[in-house]
Amino acid sequence: MTVSDRPIPTESEALDAYSQTVVSVAERVGPSVANLRVNRRTRAGSMPAGAGSGVALTADGFILTSAHVVAGPRRHGRAAFTDGRELGFTIVGSDPLSDLAVLRAEASDLTPARLGDAENLRVGQLVVAIGNPHGYAGSVTAGVVSALGRSLPARAGRTVRVIDNVIQTDASLNPGNSGGALVDNHGNVIGVNTAVAGVGLGLAVPINEYTRRVIGSLMTDGRVRRAWLGIAGGVRPLPPGARAELGNRTCVEVVEVIPGSPAELAGLRPEDLLVAVDGEPVEGVEDLQRLMVAERIGKRVELSVIRHGRPQSVDLVPVELDSRTG
């Protein structure tokens, strides 16, 4: 049989397994990803800006994006989808400390994406990024999870918070990808693309139990409430004796106590080693942040600390974090 006699391969035969997966994911999730434009005011007046990307959450118009994509005084914009529709949207809520925001478009028949769980990701796993880099709608890039557990600082006013468990990928990201979908091979959105960390390195805020709560709060309340102790601290290894007794390897050392804060009123001191909140272990700053939920605002909590080598309990009542003054 000559080359010319060979049968022409079918489309499915022509695509290898990798390509089939990427094509399938792009076809499934692409219709859910929007190109977002926010009108930003300049000295010359108002001008449209290609802000970034967003992912439809519900058929009735909720869209997930990055907080920095819609940052600024303007509360409205336009969302363009790959089917040619361009819809107006309003910002429902934005949380710079998680770099997530929720919008509401004027629609009742969007194609919602399916949220997954980044906790199940593994390094080396295939991921697909869908967004609008440089305003090019519906662009698709593929790569792998190159690292997990990265940290990304976020700021709101004077408050600085660390976004933990950030996903690092080598799927190509460019300006305009922010707010778009990072998708696993099953078509589940497991991250929101948020930053370009360098050539061949992109970062995404994970979809997990904590960020689902953030998204839910933004959808229902338009904001995220957090409890505040009033300390600044860092990770420190526990002394050997305490490590053996508690089972923790690390803790949070109190570096600074903010004047007038709940921590100062309760007698917390610099160099105290914070090991637990209401019995839940604290091994790093991210653990403490995760425990400072709205339900603890105004309620007594017990901090387990080690002071001068001795375990102690400190009771205090957290207040609500004001990110403008935090």
The reply to whether 325 falls in a domain is no
186 plus 242 within the same structural domain: no
Neighbour tally for 207: CB within 10 Å: 24
pLDDT value at 139 more than 60? yes
Helix (H) or strand (E) holding 277: strand 273-277
The answer to whether 277 and 224 are in contact (CB under 8 A) is no
Domain boundary among 181, 204, 223: 223
142: tokens are 């593929």
Backbone angles phi, psi at 275, to 5 degrees: -115, -15
Vertex 162: Cα angle to 159 and 165 (nearest 5): 160
Domain boundary among 165, 191, 223: 223
| Spatial distance between the Cα atoms of 186 and 25, rounded to a whole number of angstroms | 7
| Spatial distance between the Cα atoms of 187 and 178, rounded to a whole number of angstroms | 19
Residue pLDDT, tens place only, 64-115: 999 999 988 778 899 999 999 999 999 999 999 999 999 999 899 999 999 9
152 plus 278 within the same structural domain: no
* pLDDT for the residue numbered 47: 40
Active-site pick, 53, 94, 99, 287: 99
206 plus 239 within the same structural domain: no
* pLDDT for the residue numbered 157: 65
Active-site pick, 32, 53, 66, 68: 68
Number of domains in the chain: 2
> 174 or 288, which is more confident?
288
**Residue 76 known to be catalytic:** no
pLDDT value at 43 more than 60? no
Active-site pick, 53, 178, 217, 323: 178
* pLDDT for the residue numbered 325: 43
* pLDDT for the residue numbered 176: 82
* pLDDT for the residue numbered 208: 92
**Residue 322 known to be catalytic:** no
| Spatial distance between the Cα atoms of 50 and 300, rounded to a whole number of angstroms | 46
pLDDT value at 240 more than 80? yes
**Residue 60 known to be catalytic:** no
Residues in the chain: 326
pLDDT value at 45 more than 70? no
pTM: 0.81
